[in-house]
Amino acid sequence: MRTGLVFLFVFLCSALAMAGTIYDNGPVNGNLNSYAFDGQFLYVSNTFTVAGGDSTITGISIWVWIFPTDHNPTAEVSITSQPNGGTVYFDQVVQFSQESNCYTDGFGLMICQETANWINGPALSNGTYWINLKNGSFPSGDKIFWDQNNGAGCQSSGCPSQARDSIGTIPSEAFTVLGSSGSQTESTPQTSRLLMFGGGFVWVVGMVRRSLR
C-alpha cells in the first residue's frame, strides 16, 4: 500500500515538473568536451524547437564546467532566428543560480547545472530557433564552459540540437529551455492539472497518515 502511494506521489511530482519544459537537449555528459562563451565574439549557439503551440520562454538551464570556487555566473542570453544573429526575439543579461546537481570531474573541475529565469520572455510560435550564450562571467574572471553532450538522450521534438560557436559548427550542448506552452485556451488545462496535483498531494498525505495509524 505504502509503495503504491509513494509511486503515485513521484508520478505527480514528475508530471508537474515536466510542465515547464519547452525543449530538452538531453542530460549532461561531463566527459567529452565543453565550449567557452565568455566574450562578445566568443559565443555558443544551439537550436531548440517549439512544438507544443505558442510558447512563452521564461528561462534556460545549462550544464557547465567551472572551477570549484565559481558559481552563479552572469551571461548574455539571446534567442534569434540564426546563430547569434538574424531576427532577435530576446536579448538580456541574466543571473544564473546553481542547482543542487553538482559534482567534481577527474580534472578537478566542477560540473554544475546553472539556471536562469526571466520575466517578459518572448512568445514564440511553433518552429526552430537559436539560443545563444555569450559574455559569460564570474567575479573572479575565470572562464565558463558549456558541456557538450551531442544531444545524446534528448527526447524533445527537433532534437538533437544543431550548434555553432564563433569558429564554426560544433556538437550540441546540454541544456533545457523553460517556459509555458500552448495558447491561452490550451493553458487552462495546465492550471487544472496543477490544482489536481495539489488535491492529489493532499489525498496522498491523508492516505499515508491513515496507513501509519
In a domain, 111, yes or no: yes
In a domain, 169, yes or no: yes
Rounded-to-integer distance, Cα 112 and Cα 115, Å: 10
Please provide the average confidence, as pLDDT, over all residues in the chain.
82
The residue among 210, 32, 35, 64 whose CA lies nearest residue 138 is: 64
Give me the pLDDT at residue 6, please: 38
The residue among 161, 174, 170, 150 whose CA lies nearest residue 42 is: 170
Give me the pLDDT at residue 145, please: 95
Total domains present in the chain: 1
Domain that holds residue 161: 33-181
The answer to whether residues 154 and 29 touch, using CB atoms and an 8 Å cutoff, is no
Per-residue pLDDT tens over the stretch 43-61:
999 999 999 899 999 999 9
Per-residue pLDDT tens over the stretch 79-125:
999 999 999 999 999 999 987 789 998 888 999 999 999 999 999 99
Rounded-to-integer distance, Cα 173 and Cα 113, Å: 12
Matching residue, cell 538533437? 160
Q: What is the pTM of this model?
A: 0.76
Give me the pLDDT at residue 39, please: 86
Tell me whether the omega of the peptide bond preceding residue 83 falls within 30 degrees of 0, making it cis.
no
In a domain, 121, yes or no: yes
Rg for the chain, CA atoms, rounded: 19
Q: What percent of the chain has pLDDT over 70?
A: 76
In a domain, 197, yes or no: no
The residue among 37, 66, 61, 63 whose CA lies nearest residue 133 is: 37
What one-character DSSP code corresponds to residue 105?
A: -
Rounded to an integer, the average pLDDT of 72-76 is: 94
Q: What grid cell was written down for 5?
A: 502511494
Is the model's pLDDT at 190 over the cut of 90?
no
Collect all residues with Cβ–Cβ distance below 8 Å to 120 and sequence separation of at least 6: none
